[in-house]
Amino acid sequence: MISEPELVGGGGFERPEVLTEAPPSRPPRPPRARRPWLWALGGAVAASAVWGGGLYAYERAKPTGPDLGGYKEVNGFCGKAKLEALTGILGKRAHEGDSPVVDGPALHYRSCSVTFGSPETGYQGSVSYTLHKVTDPGPEFGAWEKYYSLGTPIDGVGEKAFFGDRGEEGAELRVLDGQVEIELSISRQHVTGENGEVIQETEPMDLSGIEVPMTQDLLALMAELKK
C-alpha cells in the first residue's frame, strides 16, 4: 500500500504565501498641453468672422445719400444747353463760354453764358445747373423764388418751376427737380463806360410769351443732363 508521505519534523505541510495587496497603480499622466498654434488659429478665425460681420453691418448701415433722380455730373455744359427754341426767336448763338465750375462732395455746379444775334440787336443768355449731392435744396429754392420775385408758376417742368417777366429787359425761369436746380435767363445787352454809365444797348424786343420757348429749352436740357 502507498502510505501517506511522512511529515518532516512533525510540522505538516507549510501553507503557501498568498498575496493580499494589489500592485501599486501608476501615477496619472499630466494633461497634454494644447498646441499654441491651434489657439492662434482659432482666434484668427473668430476675429475674421467678427470683422467680416462688422464690415457687412457697416456697409448696410452706411448712408447712400439722396436719390439724384438720374442726374449726373457733366463736362462741356454749354454743349448740352442747346437752347434751340430761344435761338429761333432771338437769333443765332454768336458767342458762348463755360464759367468757372464747382466740384465737391456736396455740390456740382456748371453754368454757361451765350449771346443771341448780333451785338447791336441781340440778347444775352445765361443757364446754370446745380446738383445737390447731400442736402435738400427745396427750402432754399423757395427763398430764392421770393427774392427774385418769380411770381408765375409753370406746370409740367420738374418738381417746381417759376417764371419772372422783366418786360423788354428780359426774363428768368428757375426749376427745381429733386436734388437739381436749373436757371435760365435772358437780358438785353448793355455796354457801359468807365463810370458805369450805359453807352450802348441793344434794341428792345417784344418778349411776350417768351416763357414758352424757355420752358421747351429747359425740358430739353433736363433730358440731356440725365444721359
Write b or e for each residue in 121-140: b if 16 or more Cβ atoms lie within 10 A of its Cβ, otherwise e: ebbbbbbbbbbbeeeebeee
| DSSP states of 135-200 | S--HHHHHHHHHHTT--EE-TTSSSEEEEEE-GGGEEEEEEEETTEEEEEEEEE-EEE-TTS-EEE
Give the pLDDT score at 5: 46
pTM across the whole model: 0.68
Give the pLDDT score at 82: 94
C-alpha cell at 88: 429761333
**DSSP conformation class of 157:** S
Give the pLDDT score at 7: 45
Task: Point out which residues pair with 103 in neighbouring strands.
Answer: 108
* pLDDT averaged per 10 residues in sequence order, the chain, 227 residues: 47 49 57 53 54 52 76 92 95 80 93 86 91 92 77 92 91 96 91 66 85 97 95
87, with CB counted inside 10 A (0-12, 13-18, 19+), is: middle
**DSSP conformation class of 84:** H
Q: How far is the CA of 172 from the CAs of 43, 100, 200, in angstroms?
A: 67, 21, 23
Q: Contact at 8 Å (CB) between 102 and 181?
A: no
Give the pLDDT score at 211: 96
Give the pLDDT score at 99: 74
- Phi and psi, residue 125, nearest 5°: -130, 150
Q: What is the 3-state secondary structure of 50-73? A: HHHHHHHHHHHHCCCCCCCCCCCC
Give the pLDDT score at 179: 96
- Give the residue from 204, 224, 202, 215 showing the smallest Cα distance to 70: 224
C-alpha cell at 110: 456748371
C-alpha cell at 191: 455796354
